[in-house]
Each structure stands twice: as C-alpha cells, then as structure tokens.
Chains A and B, each alone.
Chain A
Amino acid sequence: MNPRLRWKTRAFAVIVILSNVLGNLFLTWGLRHGAEELTASPLSFLRAIFNPWVSLGICLLITWLMSRMFLLSWADLSYVLPVTALGYVITALLSRLFLGEQVTAARWAGTLLIMAGVILVGLGNPHSEGPR
C-alpha cells in the first residue's frame, strides 16, 4: 500500500469510528435532554429529530454511513470490521463519562467479548469459498 493510501485509510478509519461514537452520543444526549418523550406516534419522532443535539447526532451518523461506504470501496471488510469494533469500547467509556451511566464489570466483559467476536469475524476471508 502506498503511503498516501495508507494515510487516507487511517484518516477514514478514524472518521468512521468517531462519527459513529459521537453520533450515538449526541443522539442519546438530545433524546434525554430537551427532546420530548418518544411515543408510538410518528409525530413525536419527527419533533425529536428537530432537537439540535438529535439533529447533530443524525448528521454524524449519516457521515458515518457515507465514510464507511467510501472506506469499503478500497479497504477490505476484514480490515474495516475489526478496526471499527473499537467503537464499542469508546462508546462504553464516553457513556460513563458524559451520560453518567454505570458500566458494570459484566457490561465491560460483555462489550469486550462482543468486540472480540466482531474482530474474529472480520479477520476471516470476506469471500469464503468452499462446500455449501
């Protein structure tokens, strides 16, 4: 891989991780601070979307979707999945720091196990051939 592509890949991996983690964080913050409680009515969802924090969260999640799609156009899924699985741990850390959530030992263990599972899946061959 040439240095320019390596730099671009790393930069996009950081954007993918941060936009997902921060998008979820801002979305949750907005839904818990200011946005009205969501009900079965679609109108309550529409009104919630116009909360500034929720809107910012949605913009970041759109950035996440787009940047992940772009990254996948040149990087292997087997690289993207394990690298972006870091987001689970960062989400747990930020939830504790900014949302005041209690992350118990069982939850840390569960999060780490899920991250390990996603990494293991990502390390496999994305075009597995063989007996069906």
Chain B
Amino acid sequence: MKAWLLLGTIIASTVTADLLQSHEMKRHGEIHDFGPSGLRRVLATLARKTNLILAVACMALSFFAFMALVQVADLSFAVPASAGSLVIETILARLVLKEHVDARRWIGAALVAGGVWLLAL
C-alpha cells in the first residue's frame, strides 16, 4: 500500500513538473544559442519563471518519493512503474496543452498502461 502511495506521488509530481516545464518552455520559445553566454542568459531568464521554479520543486518531490519507494519496493518494479506518468501525460497533453496526439502515441501510452498493470500482478 505504501509503495503504491509513493508511486502515485512520483507519477503526480512528475506529471505536474513536465506540464509546467512544457508550458513555460513553449511560452519562452525555441532556444537557438547554446554557447556559454547564450545559455547563461537563458538560465537567468528561466530562473525567474514561477512555473519553472514550481516544476523544479515537483521534480525534487518526485526524487525524494523515489528514494522512499526503492527502500520499500524492488528497483525492477519502481523504475518501469514510474513510466506510468507517460500515460497521464499523454492524456493531459491533449486536454490541458491542447497538443495533437496521434494514434501511434495513444497506442504507445496504452502499451505502457498495460505494462504497469502487469507489474502490479
């Protein structure tokens, strides 16, 4: 039961972090300058974005929950099961970010959902 609660925390915080990150990075626009000064400028701009700060906090929560999970569950369960976030992210990418999700992506997400169900057996 504790393992499933921790897995739920990992998936929820990963999904929130990825949605916030994706939303903010799309608002920022494509990064073209990967030189040291360009990257410094981009990082300085991004560090002031509330959504990205929240995304980093969610990633930290996800990492600490992962630490707690591998203490109570097998690593061979924890790593693939945390890929379950891909299923929820695909649904939310369509509903919240209004992305076009093609059939291949839906089938991929369904396979991941099936895999997580098999891990639960």
Contacts and interface: CB of A to CB of B under 8 A. Distances in A.
Interface of A is mostly: helix
Interface string B82-121: 0100100010000000111110110111111111111101
Interface string A61-79: 1000000000001000000
Interface in A66-109: 73, 87-88, 91-92, 95-96, 99, 101-103, 106-107, 109
Interface residues of A, number: 47
B115 A117 contact: yes
Given A31-B67, A130-B102, A117 B76 contact: no
B54 interface: no
A121 interface: yes
Nearest to B103: A124
A32 interface: yes
B67 A117 contact: no
